Structure 1
Amino acid sequence: MSDSHYIGIDVGTGSARAALISSTGEILALATKDIKTWNDKPDHYEQSTKDIWESIAYCTKQILKESGVAKESVKGVGFDATCSLSVLDAETDEPISVVEGFAEPERNVILWMDHRPVEETKKINATNHPLLKYVGGQMSIEMEMPKILWLKNNMPADLFNRAKFYDLGDVLTHLATGAETRSFCSTVCKQGYVPVGIDGSVKGWNEEFLSSIGLGELAQNEFARIGGVDNVSGKYLSAGQPVGELSVKAAEELGLAPGTKVGSGVIDAYAGWIGTVGAKVPGETQEGMGEAYTRLSLVAGTSTCHLVMTPEAVFVPGVWGPYKDVLLPNQWLAEGGQSATGSLLHHVVTTHPSYTATLASAKSENKSIFDYLNAHLTTLATKHPSNSISYLARHFFFQGDLHGNRSPIADPQMRGSVVGLSFDTGVDNLALHYYGAMEFVALQTRQIIDTMNRAGHRIDKIFMSGGQCRNSVLMKLLANVCDMPVYIPKYIDAAVVLGAAFLGVVAAGDGKEGLWEVMRRCTGECTVVDVERKEGEKRLLDAKYKVFLHMTEAQRQYRKEVDEALGEGEWWKEEK
């Protein structure tokens, strides 16, 4: 074993994880601990930096204990986290409450999936400010400026004026080192920061934009409350560049050695790109950075992010970005996304009348309910001459934007719809609904890829990460619907935390080895799911894609017609 080891820390929606890796990228130990989420009101989700940090500390101590590795051999640490808004007191560094009432400081994180700032998001996008073109034409309700504006509109003024704001990944590097350094990843991707030199950007932050949306006070003191001006009153770094060293306090809490290097963090989905896209494809020779430009990273969990790098800016309406410098200096990244994928499959299965009985059957066979349903679908398909699961659902049409649409239409008001309901409530019907949800995930992925390629991207491969990689039916659907191979990483469930660990490798090397070089050296080989379908199935899936696009547009048209009929007034009050 090498004398050097590295730790990746991943904070997802529901848990924190830590992985200890060798200098060649082998995972030697992995630990997970749940984190707490409050959901007192619909669309309101809060977390706690204190609770998250304690969960991280448990995990780091656990992996050292499990591996037997001495803390002194850990040379670098990297963080990734959800793109959630974290709030601390600018004077005391203590948490500030973000929950209505603002009396519970522990609840100081507004989770990414929180959709409370509906009106604030509308106000921001109504400005049509030029910088919005770098976030797909409009800010998402899941980004952080709408959440900051909501806090201003609802928080006591004196409390808001004391608050400083971080992306969750940046607050973790702050807690680890004491530095106020921010990552390009968080600020460019989610907060409206435009790197200096792009479109005349002088300070990164745009004072005129902040004033136009009602947050002009954030420009005071050279934007100190949101990170400052790069190389003037603040510091901004690309992924893995050294932020600093673990403080004595943080090192003690994490069970690590003071002075351990800490790399600039990234949003969790971006760590998935780092942990997968550099993988070696069996039978292919390495071609340098050009490979990255054709590889779409699908980071699948509760939601799914679609990430691809380009050497130049490529603008795609409804797709976030292009973002410069967020992972590699002078490279651009675009981010599409689906607001609900894993959570969609879970919801569809667990709310069906046959869920309880089917779960019992799955447990009796020592299977997960998803494996059980996949096997059931395969059995049903063998009863038809086509032997095709797709054929079973030929007249079942599922639109699954239950939590709004992130890409490519960027419509938070989208909701789900189904055509093909019946009175059947048995396991066959549950399997049909489950398959319909998977088909939706694949069809919408194709829509995102088609939209990006029409705009100038060159995507021809999908690199997956996350537990959905284990779902063979879904992986085959993605390959067949999108008509391109799907590559599965060596560490299916740990690609994101592996990517975070690579940030620690880069930080410990002090720039001697770039991120792409670390990725190519340490990611390992992947396996491939090839496109395999008969001509009839191709026609079927192409037809289902046309129906999916029609259902999406039809829903938007239905809402438009009803809204036009109601007009601007509150007609129910007028008629009283």
Structure 2
Amino acid sequence: MAHYIGIDVGTGSARACVISEAGDIVGLASHDIQKWNDKHGYYEQSTTDIWAAIGKAVQQAIREIDPTSVCGIGFDATCSLAVFTQQGEPISVTPPNFKVDADARNVILWLDHRPEAETALINRTNHPLLKYVGGTMSIEMEIPKALWLKNNLPSETFANARFYDLADALTFLATGDNSRSFCSAVCKQGYVPVGVDGSVKGWQADFLTSIGLTELCENDFVRMGGVNGVNGRFLTAGEPVGKLSETAAAQLGLPAGIAVGSGVIDAYAGWIGTVGAKVDIDPKWRDESHEAGDVSQAFTRLAAVAGTSTCHLAMSPDPVFVPGVWGPYRDVLIPGYWMAEGGQSATGELLQHIIMQHPAAKELLMEAERAGQKVVYEYLNGKLKKMAADAGAPDCSVSWLGRHFFFYGDFFGNRSPVADSNMRGSVTGLSNDISVDNLALQYYGTMEFIALQTRQIVSTMNDAGHRIRSIFMSGGQCRNDILMALISTACDMPVFIPRYVDAAVVHGAAMLGAKAASHAGGQGESLWDIMARMSKPGSTVYPSSNLTERKLLDVKYKVFLEQCEQQQRWRREVDEALAGTKP
């Protein structure tokens, strides 16, 4: 029996997943990776540390199978920038020394916010290319980070630097072929598909020149991956990149020569691992897409990949431009189709922050331990349900508890649809209560915010021309029953939860390995056919039929929008009043 391996590199860990030809997971392991945060807004990792963690995870995941049965490997990773010399040595991104050595912290993590000035400069150009990233370049993207490196690296170091999206860096380490750079995230890096809007080489030389990165245009953009068919290869998801090298095979405990598929950003692997599932649905919520069976089925399905942050992915047959939503990007997953990517910069991280910063955090942890609950949110959800029952809330609705608590949670800036990294959190309804009950109320308010902002993203996408009718979740947040119910009711659409709740992303990466292996005999199987065959449906959450709860969430959504608009207006008024004042 053939097996395929998926490798997922997230913000905090590397995971390896082994699947069978039927898509069943037969091996799963993870290993923590390091994240350095020496300075506010600076987040760094090391590809050396990441690769070591991948090796340990793979060796553990393949214990129950014959390693020679592995036919393909696929990678996904966060959309982070990895930097190497032209010779393949890691370059440190840590100021002020910027060393070049094997253990260098050479990855600027996606959530790093150091290039504020560079991001502002890029967006002031108003270059037409920016419409392909939602109208503005996000501080989370890689071009602002590359520009920061030009402004801060020693000039001779920058002149010898080569830039990779992290998923491509991993395929480089796996195959030994460093001819690809930026390519799995090419859509986000100043690239317009050839033939679209007059694009000839994909990369836009006038854009790179206008922001001060002329060096990256040299030799047909070789330091960014080159020009497709000239000095580079641009592949869609899972297409074979090469073979597992002798060196990498020894580090992973596998035989050399295994097919390695073109990698993707981790959220896209979540799309691959979920939206192809054959699901049963209540007739009330069924539309033609649930009967289609082919790739058109994906056009009404939003993939929401919820971890530290949440990404919202939708495919369309034609380009749909949505303010504040990244894309549309063509050919990223399936040739000829376009992807849009909304997102919330912090969801899992925000929930943890709200819990741990509350004065009752220690008391909560002790209460949960006494109750035998290892997962804090499960304890809090139970507590909220009891609080609602004790308060005589209509139908014991938890949302009733937060009816006069108004929480806005863009603590880490706004990715979509406002696209403003300066957005921050706000709250109305605070008291001097420092009890665990008050902590539970603030925790509920955070979940409500996540659900309402999801509605804002989905509504903005549909208003622009998408036709999203259902949400396919993945990630650990799927286990949070109150949050899933809030998202379903706030958005008024069913939420589908995969069978492999915690492994949907790495399961999707393994499908990339299956895609790469399928090319051994010729043209290869389509990624959609692989998804339809291997995806595993789980459970479904439908919108609440409680009219009181629905009316409450509708009015809370109106307040949520006002909180967002009000914060922006207040900032403008203050900035106008202080215009010309030096800091």
TM-score per shorter chain, which class?
over 0.9
The one of 311, 322, 325 aligned to 1:316: 322
Select which of 76, 92, 98 maps to 2:93: 98
AA of the residue aligned to 1:181: R
The 5 A counterparts of 1:439-478 are 439-478=448-487
SS in 2 for 1:484: coil
Amino acid paired to 1:369: V
Instruction: Summarize the alignment of residues 134-149 of structure 1 with structure 2, pairs less than 5 Å apart.
Output: 134-149=132-147
Instruction: Indicate if the aligned counterparts of 1:282 and 1:527 stay in contact, CA closer than 8 A.
Output: no
Q: Report the equivalent of 2:285.
A: none
More displaced, 94-103 or 428-437?
A: 94-103
Match of 1:498 among 497, 501, 507: 507
Aligned residues: 565
Q: Aligned letter for 2:111?
A: M
Look up the match of 1:375: 382
Q: Which deviates more, 157-166 or 279-288?
A: 279-288
- Tell me, in whole angstroms, the C-alpha distance in 1 between the residues paired with 2:463 and 2:164: 35
Deviations 1:149-189 (A, max 9, x none): 0000111100000000000000110111122235754111x
**How far, CA to CA, are the matches of 2:180 and 2:160 in structure 1?**
19
Report the 3-state secondary structure (helix = DSSP H, G, I; strand = E; otherwise coil) of the residue aligned with 1:414.
coil
**Matched AA of 1:349:** I
Distance 2:36 2:133 in 1: 28
Quote how far apart the aligned CAs of 1:45 are.
0.7
Give the letter aligned to residue 481 of structure 1: A
> SS of the counterpart of 1:39?
coil
Question: Is 1:87 equivalent to 2:83 in the alignment?
Answer: yes
1:405 matched to 2:407: no
Name the structure 2 match of 1:482.
491
List runs of 5+ in structure 2 lacking aligned partners. Answer: 282-289
Q: How does 1:86-235 map to 2 (within 5 A)?
A: 86-90=82-86, 92-105=87-100, 106-179=104-177, 180-182=179-181, 184-188=183-187, 190-235=188-233
Alignment match, 1:46: 44
| C-alpha distance after superposition, 1:82-133 (max 9, x if no partner) | 000000001x210011111134441100000000000000000100001110
2:466 corresponds to which letter in structure 1?
A: H
Check conservation: 1:37, 1:47, Cα contact below 8 A: yes
- Matched AA of 2:326: W
- Alignment equivalent of 2:524, drawn from 488, 512, 519: 512
Q: Distance in 2 between matches of 1:139 and 1:117?
A: 11
Question: For 1:337, what is the secondary structure of its paired residue?
Answer: strand
- Distance (Å, rounded) in 2 between the aligned partners of 1:437 and 1:525: 28
Residue by residue over 1:493-515, the C-alpha shift from the partner in whole angstroms, topping out at 9 and shown as x without a partner, is 00000000000000000042110
Query: In the aligned structure 2, how far is the partner of 1:569 from the partner of 1:325?
Result: 48
Q: C-alpha separation between the residues in 1 aligned to 2:57 and 2:109?
A: 21
Work out whether 1:335 is the aligned partner of 2:341. yes
**Are residues 1:346 and 2:349 paired?**
no
Alpha-carbon shift at residue 288 of structure 1 (Å):
1.2
Aligned counterpart for 1:550 among listed residues 551, 557, 562: 562
Shift of 1:427: 1.1
What corresponds to 1:29 in structure 2?
27
Q: Report deviation, 1:525.
A: 2.2
Q: Mean alpha-carbon deviation: is it higher for 275-284 or for 51-60?
A: 275-284
**2:287 corresponding residue in structure 1:** none
- Greater CA deviation, 22-31 or 532-541? 532-541
Secondary structure at the counterpart of residue 17 of structure 2: strand
Partner Cα distance (1:317, 1:352) in 2: 35
Once structures 1 and 2 are overlaid, which stretch shifts more, 379-388 or 311-320? 379-388
Whether the aligned pair in 1 keeps the contact of 2:98 and 2:153 (CA below 8 Å) is no
Which structure 1 residue ranges, 5 or more long, are not aligned?
none
Q: Give, in angstroms, the shift of residue 526 of structure 1.
A: 2.6
Q: What CA distance in whole angstroms lies between the structure 1 residues aligned with 2:333 and 2:97? A: 35
**One-letter identity of the residue aligned with 1:523:** S
**SS of residue in 2 equivalent to 1:76:** strand
Q: Residue 74 in 1 paired to residue 70 in 2?
A: yes
Paired amino acid for 1:287: G
Paired with 2:99 and 2:157, the residues of 1 have a C-alpha distance of: 13
Whether 1:527 aligns to 2:539 is yes
TM superposition score normalised by structure 1? 0.97
Provide the rounded CA distance (Å) in 1 between the counterparts of 2:166 and 2:251.
18
Offset at residue 536 of structure 1 (A): 1.7
| Whole-angstrom distance in 1 between the partners of 2:192 and 2:299 | 22
- Secondary structure of 1:413's counterpart equals coil
How far did residue 285 of structure 1 move? 4.1
Q: Secondary structure of 1:28's partner?
A: strand
Alpha carbons 1:280, 1:526 under 8 Å: kept: no
The alpha-carbon deviation at position 19 of structure 1 amounts to 0.4
Q: How does 1:219-258 map to 2 (within 5 A)?
A: 219-258=217-256
CA RMSD of aligned residues (A): 1.1
Match of 1:292 in 2: 298
Matching residue of 2:366:
360
| Greater Cα offset, 297-306 or 178-187 | 178-187
Contact 1:442 1:481 in 2 (8 A): yes
- How many angstroms apart in 2 are the aligned matches of 1:533 and 1:421? 30
Q: Are the equivalent residues in 2 in contact too, given 1:87–1:108 (CA < 8 A)?
A: yes
Retained in 1: the 8 A contact 2:165–2:184?
A: no
Q: Provide the C-alpha distance between the structure 2 equivalents of 1:147 and 1:285, rounded to a whole number of angstroms.
A: 44
Q: Structure 2 vs 1, CA of residues 297 and 410 (structure 1 numbering), >3 Å: closer, same or farther?
A: same
Q: In the aligned structure 1, how far is the partner of 2:180 from the partner of 2:276?
A: 27
3-state SS, counterpart of residue 462 of structure 1: strand
> Residues 147, 183 of structure 1: CA spacing in aligned structure 2 closer, same or farther, 3 A cutoff?
closer
Name the residue aligned to 2:579: 567
**Greater Cα shift, 280-289 or 12-21:** 280-289
| Aligned residue type for 1:375 | G
Return the letter of the residue paired with 1:335: E
Q: How many angstroms apart in 2 are the aligned matches of 1:230 and 1:548?
A: 45
Task: State the Cα deviation string for residues 388-439 of structure 1 (Å, max 9, x = none).
Answer: 1111100000000000000001000000000000011101100100000000
2:57 aligned to which of 56, 59, 65: 59
The amino acid of 1:86's aligned partner reads A
Contact preservation (8 Å) 1:303, 1:340: yes
Q: Is the 8 A contact 1:80 1:169 kept in 2?
A: yes
User: Secondary structure of the residue that 1:257 maps to in structure 2?
Assistant: coil
What SS does the corresponding residue of 1:233 show, helix, strand or coil? coil
Say which SS state the counterpart of residue 526 (structure 1) adopts: strand
Moved more, 42-51 or 507-516: 507-516
- The question of 1:436 aligning with 2:445 is answered yes
SS in 1 for 2:557: helix
In structure 1, give the amino acid aligned to 2:260.
Answer: V
